[in-house]
A and B are shown apart, each in its own frame.
Chain A
Amino acid sequence: MVGPIYIIAVALGLAFVMGLFGKSLKNLSEWAMLAGLGFMTFVSGQWLLEFMNNTRAVETIFTAGFKPPYSINLQMGIQEAFFTFIINVVGLLGGIYLFKDLKQTGPNAMMVFLVFVMSLNVVVMTRDMFNLFVFLEVGSIATAGLILLNNNGNALQAGMKYLIATGIISSILLVGIIYAYYFSGSLNIDDILAANLGASKVTVIAVFLIYVSVLLELKPFPANGWGIDVYTAANPGIGALVSAASASASLFVLYKLASLGGAEWLNYIAIIGGITFVGSNLIGTKQESPNRLLGYSSIGQIGLLTMIVGLSNILGEKMIFIASGILISHYAAKAGLFWLSGIINAKDIKGWAALRKSPFLLFLFGTFVFALIGFPPFPSFFGKWELIMTLATGGHWAWMVTILVGSFIEGIYLFRWLGYAIKLDHDELPDFKIEWNKIFPVWIMAIVLYAVGVYVSPLTEGGMFINYLPLMFVLFLFAIDFLPIYIKNTVSIGGIIWYMFHIYPVLENDLLRLIFAGIFLIGGVLTLMAGYNKKGTRKGFYPMAMMMYAGLIGIIESSSMLEFFFSWELMTAGSYFLIIRGKRSLPHGYSYMLFSIGGAYAILFGFGLAFASGFDTSLAALGDINILPTLAYSLLAVGFMTKTASLGLHIWLPGAHGEAESDVSPMVSAILLKAGVFGLMLLFLYMDRASAGANNLWYVLGWVGALTTLVGNMSAAFQEDAKRLLAYSSIAQLGYILFALSIMTHLGWLAGFTYTINHFLFKAILFLVVGGIVVKLGTHNMYEMGGMIKKMPFSFIAVLISIIVIGGIPPLSGFAGKWLFYNAILEKGWYFQGALIFFSGIVAFLYLYKLIHSIFLGQLKDNHRTVKEISAWILVPSYILIIGIMIFSAFPHWILKPIETMIAPYFSSQALMWDGTKALTSYGYWDGTTIMIVVGTAFVLLLTWLIVLSAKAKKIEQFNIVFAAERPFRPETTHVSYNIYAGYKKALGFVVAPGITIFWNVVSTFVLEVANWFRRIYSGNMQNYALHVVLYIVVFYLIALGGF
């Protein structure tokens, strides 16, 4: 074992010796520096390992051979080992990253670099107050020097601001220290902590001075203009160190001194952290410069960690886990992002689209963004989870809201940025060089994030049950991403089929889950089949699609809330990447993500309340929420409804589904939306049926469902874009499902299940086929289509059958759904809502007619004379789905009977009886098989009759002017179905006025304007920044101690 003191001795010795190297040994100095950093990493790593294996007690290092408090002592415990290790690692990697810059500046810069890292080690280890001050100063001076590695005007100004601000802060600290010494008679931190200076009205002033300066070192909002400028102007390699290493060390100082004042002070710390977290992220939303944005984000994250330190009394022993999970994510992601920024060297975040020149960089960028937000499988996910659960247990709603709001705001700018990188045009952007020494550290940090995430997950309660198998598959697909489509497609389909067999025995006795697993997995296989149609390698598609399916199946499999949330987030991440792949999907993918994060946080809050109610981590905890149950139910419902796109939360869907790639649309529409339905079903089954809150909520949701249906159908009817029409139709169909489930009767749920299965079947067909047609014809606009019936007869039949199902026309299964639905409405007595639903059912005919008519009937367009039927790879899955429809229509009892048995225990009256294939209610009966036979026979008879008749008919060619009208030049004015419902639009258009879109636009503009207003305090004047610091001290003093 090498003693920790050698970290300091070797670093300083090397730094001092470097001056001697002279010209002959000049090239040695950078290697000497790296060797020194490597040695430091080794020593701290070795201690960390020892502590993690529990083979050592805390080690105290006595300098000068005397016992404290008479001499300075350092301490090496597991926390110190952890912090010094992460500092030294980022120091070593940063040294490698800056290798060439440092070499260019010369040995002096290397000495400064080495001493900088060393000083942070001492700051972490020291147990002496004044020694802490000295090495904090060493650190700040070294930082002020390293800022000047970028030798330009901006760096100079930033460095000067930094010097002025830290000069004031450290002076205040010094006064605090001397008073602490005066009051306690010792400079040893443990002695000072034991002196309990916070207890007396006289001595508390020392506590104040020490706290305020330590907090100011952490750059609290809004007295942090000086810190942000450093991030903006310094070399990103230095930004990475300041953000990852210095901030960690300063945070550890706060943690060391946290018990200095007592509980009341911890409160202040938490408040200051919370304000910083929200405020700094808020201003980040207006940022365009990457480094500055990273600066705001860094400060925000440190604010969150400060808050966690402040909440240490509340969080108890969980605090270490939470803080380290969030810290390590911030640390690795921020260092990685700063380094990436240095490689790309763009002035504007839009310039990051250049990343696409190298897909691996995009992968790294995505990793860091998701890690910062707290997505699985990164450590911050588990940290945030535990944080919310623990806060909920104590009933600290305000803190929970603060954390979730701050995180959401962070998502606003991080996902905008990621979206730019994925979508914006990058042909014009300048090239950049990727040097090995710059990319290597970034990779290490990304690997750290994944590895630590997987390592910490079993440490959370329930985390050991998380199934990483699907994620391994995703990783594997990443590895083979360079292969052609047909191989990856086959591998993916094979993977899903294998998983079906794997999961079937598990779910055999759980019909609810089995049905959804069927939708997700069978749907997955069928929609993936359409992928054979595409050519090339389709980079990134398969890992992301599989991530979505992994999430979906994880939701089904999960038995605990943690697993559920883990999978939910995984699904969100995967589907986001799928959606944003569409050509014009940038804004839609972005709004999808924002609604998803918002929804996820609502769910998280709800889970927190559920956990707090009975300390049960399983999903069954939703069944006995006794803390604010109505709020919890509502939040969970809203969370799930962001995925089902119910009215108010639906504005992301039309664009997201309409602009997605042809085989992605069915995935995200027919399949993904069902995740929300599954969530709602789980929730509704668990909700306390006797409580007034639950019943009110169902009543409200019933109305929401009915209105969603109306608005969805009306909007669909007025669409000219074929895929958007289908997207609005999805909104409406999910509205039906929400309505049916909210009825909360036996019949209602049967109807809900029927609608769910139907929607899956027909919407997959429609999006597959229409998507294929749209690609074939090169337009989304229905008025540019027409006459396709002869060119694409198979597509026509597929669409026809689907719309028969949507329309609820016998004999197909849509009728079964409607029949159950109206029975349920009558039984429940929701007549007003029923009338609304009935009315929207009629509107549905309008858009269905428009869809099939404009595409397949009418005149063939000139430029479409040579088109052929769409690919068999699309038709085959569609026809398999049609077979599914036929079976479900003819033998509905095969599925409905078991469902009935399953839900029977949940509902008192069994309103539906079966008599063979006949379903009976008090309002009548219906027999799917008989109807199928009758209608089928009639159809065959009529068809034969028509064929016989048509033998005598005269065929008329399109341009036979005796029969035909004029030839269309401007398709939209002459196409019969263009704006076909103008009359209705005039009368009822107000229903579909984009009121909700306007509402959300106003909300987002408001947030951005607030951010814009606040950031004006960052005027750029260094004297003002000094003023902010002093003002912060004064205000804090007046609030905390103003009374005495």
Chain B
Amino acid sequence: MEYIAISTGFALMLLGLWGILSQKNLIKIVLGFTIFDTGINIVMVSIGYVKGKAAPILDVINASEAANKIVDPVPQALVLTAIVIGLGVTALMLVYVLKLHREKNSLDINSFKDLKW
């Protein structure tokens, strides 16, 4: 189960990276990033999975029982943060794309090469 999830995560990361590196349309590049991020999030959650355990929400306080009942809550907390960060970056990128499009009326990445050398 977790192996399938984690390999899916890595596959999505590769896919996203492919989009980032080969797409010419800026919007698609941003989409590449979101796919890349999603892949990472899946990898993170999979890493915290413990075989046969449940979500880390407890009904009663019982220390020894809880330790045997739940999956690792830490990666889940981290993913929560990572998602929000990804959201922030994506929003910012999209606004950049919006402004870039205003600038040259183009979304082609090759039309933004004014700075070089």
Contact = CB atoms under 8 A, between A and B. Distances in A.
In the complex they form, do A and B come into direct contact, defined as C-beta atoms under 8 angstroms apart? Answer: yes
Interface of A: 130, 134, 137, 141, 144-145, 153-154, 156-160, 163-164, 167-168, 171, 174-175, 178-179, 181-182, 187, 229, 232-233, 286, 1015-1016, 1018-1023, 1026-1027, 1030
A233 B115 contact: yes
B89 A167 contact: yes
Contacts of A1015: 117
Interface string B75-117: 1001001100100110011001101100110000110111111
A940 B117 CA distance: 74
B27 interface: no
Contact of B36 (A171, A1019, A1022): A171
A167 B93 CA distance: 10
B20 to A, nearest CB: 6
Nearest to A177: B78
B74 interface: yes
A157 B114 contact: yes
Contacts of B93: 160, 163-164, 167
A174 B82 contact: yes
B17 interface: yes
Interface string B51-84: 0000000000000000000000011001001100
10 contacts: A137-B88, A144-B96, A153-B114, A167-B89, A168-B17, A168-B20, A171-B40, A178-B43, A286-B117, A1016-B117
A130 B74 CA distance: 11
Q: A interface, by DSSP: helix, strand, loop or mixed?
A: helix
B21 interface: yes
B92 A163 contact: yes
Contact of A1023 (B21, B44, B82): B21
A1027 B21 CA distance: 6
Contact of B113 (A156, A174, A1016, A1021): A1021
Contacts of A181: 47, 74-75, 78
A154 B116 CA distance: 10
Q: B interface, by DSSP: helix, strand, loop or mixed?
A: helix
A154 B114 contact: yes
A131 to B, nearest CB: 10
B37 A171 contact: yes
A187 B72 CA distance: 13
A153 B99 CA distance: 9
Nearest to B115: A229
Contacts of A154: 114-115
Interface in B1-53: 13, 17, 20-21, 24, 26, 29, 33, 36-37, 40, 43-44, 47
Given A167-B93, A1020-B115, 16 more contacts: A137-B85, A144-B92, A156-B100, A156-B103, A157-B114, A159-B96, A163-B89, A163-B93, A174-B40, A229-B115, A1018-B117, A1020-B113, A1021-B110, A1022-B109, A1027-B21, A1030-B21
A1018 B116 contact: yes
10 shortest interchain CB distances as A-B pairs: A1020-B116, A1020-B113, A229-B115, A157-B112, A153-B103, A160-B96, A1015-B117, A178-B44, A182-B47, A137-B85
Of B40, B81, B117, chain A has the most CB atoms within 10 Å of the CB of B117
A157 B103 CA distance: 10
Contact of B116 (A130, A1019, A1023): A1019
A394 to B, nearest CB: 38
A182 B81 CA distance: 18
A153 B104 contact: yes
A164 B32 CA distance: 11
A1016 B116 CA distance: 8
Contacts of B82: 174
Of B13, B110, B112, chain A has the most CB atoms within 10 Å of the CB of B112
Contact of A178 (B17, B47, B89, B110): B47
Contacts of A164: 20, 29, 33, 93
Contacts of A141: 88-89, 92
Nearest to B26: A160
Given A130-B81, A134-B81, A163 B114 contact: no
A812 B17 CA distance: 84
A648 B100 CA distance: 55
A154 B115 CA distance: 7
Of B13, B40, B109, B115, chain A has the most CB atoms within 10 Å of the CB of B115
B115 A232 contact: yes
Contact of B109 (A144, A156, A233, A1021): A1021
A1027 to B, nearest CB: 6
Given A145-B92, A158-B115, A1021-B110, A1026 B21 contact: yes
B115 A175 contact: no
Contacts of B99: 156
A160 B78 CA distance: 26
A1022 B25 CA distance: 12
A413 to B, nearest CB: 14
Of B75, B85, B93, B96, chain A has the most CB atoms within 10 Å of the CB of B96
A175 B114 contact: no
B7 to A, nearest CB: 14
Contacts of A168: 17, 20, 36
B40 A175 contact: yes
A1027 B22 CA distance: 9
A785 B95 CA distance: 73
Contacts of B112: 157, 160, 1020, 1022
A178 B75 contact: yes
Contacts of B89: 137, 141, 163, 167
Contacts of A153: 103-104, 114
B85 to A, nearest CB: 5
Nearest to A163: B93
Contacts of A1022: 109, 112
Contact of A130 (B21, B29, B43, B78): B78
A1026 B20 contact: yes
Nearest to B90: A167
A134 B82 CA distance: 8
A140 to B, nearest CB: 8
A160 B111 CA distance: 13
A233 B93 CA distance: 18
Contact of B85 (A134, A144, A158, A1030): A134
A529 to B, nearest CB: 52
Nearest to B36: A171
Contacts of B100: 156-157, 160
A940 B114 CA distance: 81
A197 to B, nearest CB: 15
Contacts of A156: 96, 99-100, 103
A589 to B, nearest CB: 28
Contacts of A130: 78, 81
A20 B77 CA distance: 31
A178 B78 contact: yes
Contacts of B116: 1018-1020
A391 B78 CA distance: 43
A137 B117 CA distance: 27
A134 B84 CA distance: 10
A14 B116 CA distance: 39
Nearest to A182: B47
A54 B75 CA distance: 40
A233 B113 CA distance: 12
A1020 B114 contact: yes
Contacts of A286: 117
Contacts of A1021: 109-110, 113
A854 B116 CA distance: 56
B100 to A, nearest CB: 6
Contacts of B109: 1021-1023
Contacts of A145: 92
Contacts of A1016: 117
B107 to A, nearest CB: 12
Contacts of B74: 181, 187
B89 to A, nearest CB: 6
Nearest to A229: B115
A156 B113 CA distance: 11
